[in-house]
Structure 1
Amino acid sequence: MGIAVGVNESLDYSAIKTATSTTENSSADLQNNFLTLLVTQLKNQDPTNPMDNSQLTTQLAQINTLSGIEKLNTTLGSISGQINSGQSLQASALIGHGVMVNGSQILVGSGDTTPFGVSLDQASTATQATITDASGKIVKTIELGGLSAGVHTFAWDGTTTDGTTAADGKYQVSLSASNASGPLVSQPLNYALVTGVTNDASGAVLDLGTLGKTTLANVRQII
């Protein structure tokens, strides 16, 4: 690249930024271009009208900042890769284990039922679980009492309101909670079995079979 700076001309720093940003990709390239222009300027400057030192200092500081940001990005990228690897190892240990995730499903089969749970942001003085069948009919209402803030897991014994055993199949649970201030937000949780682990750009992904996929961040409790 040819550079010509005449006597009494001063470096156009904004032009340097524009030119290098469109043709170069790293702070090293920017430094090389800047130093080339600087040497040319020093060779041709008018002794009676020397370069503005404050402008030079500012530009050098900006270049050093860019270099530091590039190094920081490289370091963060390396740390992110290590975190993803660690997540994958942690997630692989969950294969074959049950987890509680957001959802309202309860499965009943051969007298066994999958757990259900609730997540509360605030402590409740009264909490109730209502279990319905596929048609929406209420088959059981369970009083859970007062609960502290956080995640709680429960087991339904599979009996209906009239004392009979619920038929095998899929049921839904809804939660309601309240305290002295009034109704509370209650997030229902359902059980899922981790059958496998894969990776994508965001890290480890848990395969929950028919319930789909989720990340470690969405696991509320490990059973």
Structure 2
Amino acid sequence: MAAITNTLPQSVLDAMNPKAATSASTAAEAQDRFLTLLVTQMKNQDPLNPMDNAQVTSQLAQLSTVTGIDKLNSTVESLMGSYQSSQSLQAAALIGKGVLAPGNQTGLSEKQALMGVEFPSDVDSAVITIKDASGNVVQTIDVPKQTAGSKPIIWDGKKSDGTDAPNGTYTFDVKATLAGKPVEVTELQFGMIATVSTTAGQNVKLNVPGLGELELSDIRQYL
């Protein structure tokens, strides 16, 4: 007669360990496999030397934990998919909208150029310096006291000498101070959302000519 033992082959013990389940296994399959092996082990145990209850409880606790994590992962993946679909629909409605995002260029057309500044805190004053393609200063704009936040700025196309600047692309930078100390600000460039790109597992991308691909978090203000 074959000897009765509480020890199962190592391959069986490895299979009982939830960590050994492959990524392709579902929680239900892992649970069924564990219970089958547990019942088999209990049937073949030595009645004079039964299984340690602590070991059984520990295995059940591990199985419960792994099953719970698997279900949680599935729920999170489902929520992420729903969130991305919702985000895509919202982004699609933004096509054709004007936005301000980090950048230091502005386009002058018909005596009007739009740009912006993001102030991290209140400032006493700020100066916007506008330069042409050659780096020559064509105009400076004094900005009075401002509160924290993103502010759109319109340039009327006038140069410092009062003449009209030609249409084209210009660059600008902003210097701000608070109580006589410099404040780091962010120049904001104007652009129009042309298209929206969506890729599985990635954030929605807004394609803005002149600014490239932007995420929703890159937008400082919608105009």
Give 1:26 shift: 2.6
Match of 1:61 in 2: 61
Q: Against the structure 1 CA distance between its residues 157 and 62, is the aligned structure 2 distance closer, same or farther, given a 3 Å change threshold?
A: same
Provide, for residues 57-109 of structure 1, a one-character-per-residue CA deviation record: whole Å limited to 9, x for no partner: 12212212222222222222222122112112211221121011110111012
Mean CA deviation greater in 68-77 or 7-16 = 7-16
Find out whether 1:125 has 2:145 as its counterpart: no
User: Structure 1 CA distance, aligned partners of 2:97 and 2:9?
Assistant: 66
Provide, for residues 159-198 of structure 1, a one-character-per-residue CA deviation record: whole Å limited to 9, x for no partner: 1111111111110111112213722221100100112222
Give 1:130 shift: 1.0
Mean CA deviation greater in 92-101 or 7-16 = 7-16
Match of 1:7 in 2: 5
User: Structure 2 CA distance, aligned partners of 1:23 and 1:14?
Assistant: 19
Match of 2:217 in 1: 217
Aligned length: 219
Q: Against the structure 1 CA distance between its residues 52 and 130, is the aligned structure 2 distance closer, same or farther, given a 3 Å change threshold?
A: same
8 Å CA contact 2:6–2:41 kept in 1: the answer is: no
Match of 1:162 in 2: 161
Q: Against the structure 1 CA distance between its residues 210 and 185, is the aligned structure 2 distance closer, same or farther, given a 3 Å change threshold?
A: closer
User: Structure 1 CA distance, aligned partners of 2:23 and 2:186?
Assistant: 53
Give 1:46 shift: 2.0
Provide, for residues 19-73 of structure 1, a one-character-per-residue CA deviation record: whole Å limited to 9, x for no partner: 8335862322322222222112211212232212222112212212222222222
Q: Against the structure 1 CA distance between its residues 180 and 49, is the aligned structure 2 distance closer, same or farther, given a 3 Å change threshold?
A: farther
User: Structure 2 CA distance, aligned partners of 1:19 and 1:76?
Assistant: 21
Give 1:151 shift: 1.0
Match of 2:181 in 1: 182
C-alpha RMSD of matched pairs (Å)? 2.5
Identical aligned pairs, as a percentage?
39
User: Structure 2 CA distance, aligned partners of 1:18 and 1:37?
Assistant: 12
Please state whether the residue corresponding to 1:155 is helix, strand or coil.
strand
Q: Against the structure 1 CA distance between its residues 75 and 18, is the aligned structure 2 distance closer, same or farther, given a 3 Å change threshold?
A: closer
Match of 1:92 in 2: 92
8 Å CA contact 1:10–1:51 kept in 2: the answer is: no
Q: Against the structure 1 CA distance between its residues 210 and 6, is the aligned structure 2 distance closer, same or farther, given a 3 Å change threshold?
A: farther
Give 1:10 shift: 6.5
User: Structure 1 CA distance, aligned partners of 2:24 and 2:105?
Assistant: 55
Q: Which runs of 5+ in 2 are unaligned?
A: none
Please state whether the residue corresponding to 1:136 is helix, strand or coil.
coil
Give 1:8 shift: 3.5
Which runs of structure 2 are paired with 1:4-43 in the superposition (5 Å)? Answer: 6-9=4-7, 15=14, 16-17=16-17, 20-22=20-22, 25-43=25-43
Letter in 1 for 2:118: S
Provide, for residues 128-157 of structure 1, a one-character-per-residue CA deviation record: whole Å limited to 9, x for no partner: 211111111111111112222221111111
Match of 1:134 in 2: 133
User: Structure 2 CA distance, aligned partners of 1:110 and 1:24?
Assistant: 62
User: Structure 2 CA distance, aligned partners of 1:172 and 1:8?
Assistant: 79
Please state whether the residue corresponding to 1:200 is helix, strand or coil.
coil
TM-score by length of structure 1 reads 0.87
Q: Which runs of 5+ in 1 are unaligned?
A: none
Q: Against the structure 1 CA distance between its residues 69 and 200, is the aligned structure 2 distance closer, same or farther, given a 3 Å change threshold?
A: same
